[in-house]
Amino acid sequence: MVLDANWFTEVCEEGGSAFSLKIRRKLHEEQTPYQRIEIYETETFGNLMVIDGFIMLSSRDNFLYHEMMSHPALFTHPAPRRVVIIGGGDCGTLREVLRHPEIEHVLQVEIDERVTRLAEQYFPELCEANGDPRAEFFFGDGIRWMAEAEPGSVDVIIVDSTDPIGPAKGLFTEDFYRNCHRALGEAGVVVQQSESPLYHLDILLPMHRAMRAAGFSETRSLHFPQPVYPSGWWTATMGLKGCTTDGWRRADAAGKTFPTRYYSAETHAAALAQPPFFLQALEGS
Q: Catalytic amino acids?
A: 160
Burial class (CB in 10 A: 0-12, 13-18, 19+), 215: middle
Burial class (CB in 10 A: 0-12, 13-18, 19+), 244: exposed
Q: State how far the Cα of 73 lies from the Cα of 187, in Å rounded to an integer.
A: 12
Indicate the SS3 state at residue 24.
strand
Name which of 191, 282, 204, 188 is nearest 244 in CA terms: 188
From the CB of residue 234, how many other CB atoms can be counted at a distance below 10 Å?
Answer: 26
Contact 103, 80 (CB under 8 A): yes
Contact 35, 166 (CB under 8 A): yes
Q: Which H or E element spans position 209?
A: helix 201-213
Q: State how far the Cα of 201 lies from the Cα of 285, in Å rounded to an integer.
A: 10
Q: State how far the Cα of 81 lies from the Cα of 59, in Å rounded to an integer.
A: 29
